[in-house]
Structure 1
């Protein structure tokens, strides 16, 4: 799925088909956040922070799905790509009902981006849009030089998203595999968990690669196929 910005840039973003609220493996610590997103996503501006592997991007994509299902417009802006964008990309985001901004830490300390972010925040509020913003750490705010932008971000409902333990990461891999109709066996998942970096983004990217290879070769995902795809011995 691609989204167009007012400065005529086109950002090609693949909406993660399986990243929904229902497919998010929650822990007790994340229960309040998930309930808030399900019931009040369009009532408040929300800021979440958590580690790279905590599932922040999953929740932003889930919010996009939720907006689409409820007949609302939405845009996803990954600021980790800010080096290939211009601050003008944030202009007029208020035309969307929901604006999902991922990895805000990438523009902290950049005065031009901070001014654009501040103007975009005001534009969204003035037009009744809702912002859903993520960062790797709450201290992103302390790295922002523009105090007015800090004030705007502090006005958001703020939640920490907690990492899953290995058992829940394993459950997340199984759930994603089942959602894709892969029928992956538990021994294969155990093999992935033993050999791969145990972060959700890495595990999900690996699962997508295995899905593609399985389709191309018309083979089930087995440990031999995993070894072929990864080069693991």
Structure 2
């Protein structure tokens, strides 16, 4: 059945390698993840806008390397020496721009991970220079990291992202609906995520299938003609 009524089922985000859609905008990042054993200095900074797939790629790398994943904001309560015994991914480093204590812990983790001969993946929104880090020694270490940026989505990637996000919510739209959304939505990863959240909520609340009429309502535009 092409259209499904929204059911109050838990959203399952697919984060495996097979669920990652490789497009020109992220092909370099995927290649760097695949070749992680050859990272210069044992570390890589993965940058890009919100919703660009950084978390997905982080989980792909964790599967490949056996790495632990931790949010930068959680470093203050983490066992840094224990983390440093294996590969580590630290997500959303930009979020500790005003947190001197967390930056200090990241500095120690960075040094310990590399001293143990392990690999370190760091992610953040925007280029590394704009992460707003203020601890001089940490800033110096970040400047020494190879950085790969995930670019803004092209049509193929944005379309695939919509399909994936809807599939994570057990929704299977017709291709025509994806095309309808693509020509009317803001063209960004963050906009795609927000739109799918709103579509899912509207389908659940109104107990209606995912159609162009429902999409028009969510987008607050005139409904399409039959």
TM-score by length of 2: 0.70
Distance 1:15 1:121 in 2: 34
Please say which structure displays the higher CA radius of gyration: 2
| Structure 1 residue 232 corresponds to structure 2 residue 220 | yes
Shift, 1:47, TM fit: 0.6
| Higher RCO, Cα 8 Å, sep 6+ | 2
Distance 1:62 1:215 in 2: 31
Structure 1 residues 113 and 176: CA distance shift in structure 2, 3 A: closer
119-128 or 175-184: bigger deviation: 175-184
Q: Which residue of 1 aligns with 2:33?
A: 37
Shift, 1:131, TM fit: 1.8
**What SS class does the counterpart of residue 46 from structure 2 fall into?**
strand
Structure 1 residues 211 and 74: CA distance shift in structure 2, 3 A: farther
Distance 2:148 2:85 in 1: 23
| Structure 1 residue 28 corresponds to structure 2 residue 24 | yes
Q: How does 1:74-153 map to 2 (within 5 A)?
A: 74-77=68-71, 79=72, 82=73, 87-89=76-78, 91-92=80-81, 94=83, 97-108=86-97, 110-135=99-124, 136-140=126-130, 143-153=132-142
Q: How does 1:154-173 map to 2 (within 5 A)?
A: 154-173=143-162
Shift, 1:179, TM fit: 6.7
Gaps of 5+ in 2: 1-9, 222-226
Note the alpha carbon deviations across 1:8-55, whole angstroms, 9 max, x for none. Answer: xxxxxx996323333333333532321221242696321122233533
| Structure 1 residue 50 corresponds to structure 2 residue 48 | yes
Q: Which residue of 2 aligns with 1:9?
A: none
Gaps of 5+ in 1: 1-13
TM-score by length of 1: 0.69
Structure 1 residues 204 and 91: CA distance shift in structure 2, 3 A: same
Structure 1 residues 75 and 54: CA distance shift in structure 2, 3 A: closer
Conserved in 2, the CA contact under 8 Å of 1:94 and 1:129? no
Distance 2:215 2:188 in 1: 18
Shift, 1:118, TM fit: 0.5
State the number of aligned residues.
209
Distance 2:87 2:198 in 1: 30
